[in-house]
Chains A and B, each alone.
Chain A
């Protein structure tokens, strides 16, 4: 069971995540969009969307630090457990709270504003369920686990994080997860479920974050002929290649 939950399922989800994105990008570039509903409703979105997105950026950043940076590294630069704990809980609470409030506003908006609700697909609803569960469980772990120490003291940097790095290195140590509190286990499982869903939902827009905009020239020129040959559109047929 341990191996199934903490080796097989995560790798399956990761594989679906990776292959799914390649498939979606090749097959459905046209459907690759944020599917914005701002045209229908503006007031709630203006509040909820930045709250949620900036909160999520903080949450993701926190996870990167917490999961990928080993304890020994932070100790080496003189950050002791106590200080780290305060920073992590403080930052995590602020970011998580922003994301949670933003998400509540957005889901309320999605349910109550008629046009927005009718533009919601089945995939959207499933995805929202996983996303909401992941965020709520994550907040629970932070508040219940790290602040009130319900269910005993647990340092995820000695458990979950180590497992996660071993998982990424393709030498998974499933026992580490088996010892983690139930909150962390559920959070991890829901998150992997979300990763598996990811390529088939609007979440793909995360990977089109337009960083290139900062460096490209303002006006884009393109030749009529440059269209074929790019992935996602019909490749140039033999005999029609450009000469010279």
Chain B
């Protein structure tokens, strides 16, 4: 047994209102740079829908993740090491920019500088790739709220096996939101696909990161990830991915997407697992058994034997304590209401989901019967095959058993808590019907419905004695870093050349500039872009608008 710690997340889909706040704040924090215009480390998809990039779940097409070979061993679906090297000159399975979407901006200057005319001036969309006028035809959430679903939703890959039953008439459809970040898998196929060995899993917290100094831009990780959550920065020529906001996690605060989540539906905590058991569990023959297999890989930190082994493996005591209090552990192991996204990719994903009961509740409500009643809901879960089978395709490789189990627990919780809210005598037979005690059910309700910040995010900070190596504290003397990529480097070697600047140093410099400048905030080395967050509204900073062609003043 080799105990390792993994920072994991659970999202409660019933509470997601699809507001995209997580996506927007993540984009502001991490991907508001040139070369990353089309990238969303966090995106929210409406399901049924095509997702982002389009139909990424179709692994027959994209060849992501692992596949179990007849001899029982795992190999990359896109082919092993030799095939990767042989096809390295032109990645055969790289999504094109159209599969994501062509990023654009609007030509606002025509609005501002338009002379008086009879007709309104129009800001035309301009491609951020080619700079030319373009027609906006797709985006990261084009089919938001089932928009255009008559045309698109039928191509949703997750309808496989239930195509004949699915009707996409408006009255009969169902809908929920699926926020997605990198899964920080236990068996990451992106890391396995990287020829340079630049993608690594951190020993301390299991966060999967790209070493930007080692990445050589072969793009195999983009193809290797079945969730398509590694992206290619087309300006720097390097891969980038969700970092689980590691500079924040290291100091004990949650990721930006979790922090800003309006529905408070995200939970972050540690999971201890047996690293030696991962490969065997990922290679289980029956796809339906993968969910159970992954749960067996997890270790219970409340078990004294596990605790001893964890200490022996060098996991600090406060981390073990945090693992015991982990909300993720409770949702995955104790209540068994969280399920992994696409276990059939065999990457052992570590961002899990509580499937939504709302599609079922909505249908029951529309029939006019009591949608809080346990027996009504249970009957509906058993008869409403389409939403349930759809959820099963997402979370359990098509096995409806665990999904109905979870939905029944959520339904039972609804009706059990209604009695309490109405001041009636509680009905112990309700929790018993789903194999729980009254106390457990109440605790689960508290965690799912009213848990406070400190209960939702149990994040032990990284250890202070290692602080010099932490990004956000950056006590390695921040003035050691030269300004990243001077103008001359970039002209000579391309954008992004030179040392990368640590996140903390860059923020520090921007704030310092702003505090000490007696003119408008205007970073002198970044003439090609303006961070509007640092713009205080005074005047027009350099680079806010492109220079006039005749060289005149604006």
Write out the residue numbers on chain B whose beta carbons fall within 8 Å of the beta carbon of A1.
none
Residue of B nearest to A114 (CB): B130
CB distance from B183 to the nearest CB of A (A): 14
Residue of B nearest to A117 (CB): B130
Q: Are A31 and B132 in contact (CB under 8 A)?
A: no
Residue of B nearest to A230 (CB): B213
Contact with A along B205-226 (1 / 0, CB 8 A): 0000001111111110000000
The segment from A67-75, A148-156, A180-188, A208-216 found at the interface with B is A208-216
CA distance A218 to B191 in the complex (A): 7
Write out the residue numbers on chain B whose beta carbons fall within 8 Å of the beta carbon of A213.
81, 84-85, 194-197
Contact with B along A216-228 (1 / 0, CB 8 A): 1011111111011
CB distance from A181 to the nearest CB of B (A): 33
The segment from A3-11, A39-47, A87-95, A162-170 found at the interface with B is A39-47
Q: How large is the interface on B (under 10, 10 to 19, 20 to 34, 35 or more residues)?
A: 35 or more
**Contact A224 B191, CB 8 Å, known A30-B500, A33-B236, A214-B82:** no
Residue of B nearest to A211 (CB): B85
Check if A85 is an interface residue, CB within 8 A of chain B: no
Contact with B along A109-133 (1 / 0, CB 8 A): 0000011001101110000000000
Write out the residue numbers on chain B whose beta carbons fall within 8 Å of the beta carbon of A50.
89-90
Residue of A nearest to B475 (CB): A240
CB distance from B176 to the nearest CB of A (A): 31
Q: Are A205 and B216 in contact (CB under 8 A)?
A: yes
> Which residues 22-44 in A have Cβ within 8 Å of B in the complex?
27-40, 42
Write out the residue numbers on chain B whose beta carbons fall within 8 Å of the beta carbon of A240.
468, 476
Of B85, B129, B203, B497, the contact of A224 (CB 8 Å cutoff):
B203
Write out the residue numbers on chain B whose beta carbons fall within 8 Å of the beta carbon of A202.
494
> Which residues 171-216 in A have Cβ within 8 Å of B in the complex?
200, 202, 205, 208, 210, 212-214, 216
Of B96, B132, B212, the contact of A39 (CB 8 Å cutoff):
B96
CB distance from A206 to the nearest CB of B (A): 11
The segment from A58-66, A135-143, A231-239 found at the interface with B is A231-239
Check if B338 is an interface residue, CB within 8 A of chain A: no
Write out the residue numbers on chain B whose beta carbons fall within 8 Å of the beta carbon of A118.
130-131
Of A28, A53, A228, the contact of B497 (CB 8 Å cutoff):
A28
CA distance A208 to B76 in the complex (A): 22
Q: Are B130 and A53 in contact (CB under 8 A)?
A: no
Check if A146 is an interface residue, CB within 8 A of chain B: no
Check if B526 is an interface residue, CB within 8 A of chain A: no
Check if B29 is an interface residue, CB within 8 A of chain A: no
CA distance A123 to B31 in the complex (A): 27
The A contact surface, by secondary structure, is loop
Of B82, B96, B192, B219, the contact of A219 (CB 8 Å cutoff):
B192
Number of residues on chain A facing chain B (CB within 8 A):
54
| Of listed A50, A122, A224, residue having the most chain B CB within 10 A | A224
Q: Are A38 and B500 in contact (CB under 8 A)?
A: no
Check if B199 is an interface residue, CB within 8 A of chain A: yes
CB distance from A30 to the nearest CB of B (A): 5
Of A200, A218, A233, the contact of B213 (CB 8 Å cutoff):
A233
CA distance A216 to B192 in the complex (A): 10
Q: Are B197 and A212 in contact (CB under 8 A)?
A: yes
CA distance A115 to B128 in the complex (A): 9
Write out the residue numbers on chain A whose beta carbons fall within 8 Å of the beta carbon of B496.
30-31
CA distance A42 to B217 in the complex (A): 15
The segment from B290-298, B426-434, B443-451, B485-493 found at the interface with A is B485-493
Check if B200 is an interface residue, CB within 8 A of chain A: yes
> 10 nearest interchain CB pairs?
A210-B195, A218-B192, A31-B497, A33-B237, A33-B217, A29-B213, A222-B200, A35-B237, A53-B89, A220-B200
A-B contact pairs, 13 of them (CB 8 A): A30-B238, A33-B216, A36-B219, A39-B94, A45-B90, A49-B89, A121-B492, A214-B85, A221-B201, A222-B201, A224-B470, A234-B476, A237-B477
**Extra pairs beyond A30-B499, A114-B132 (4, CB < 8 Å):** A28-B493, A33-B237, A38-B91, A115-B129
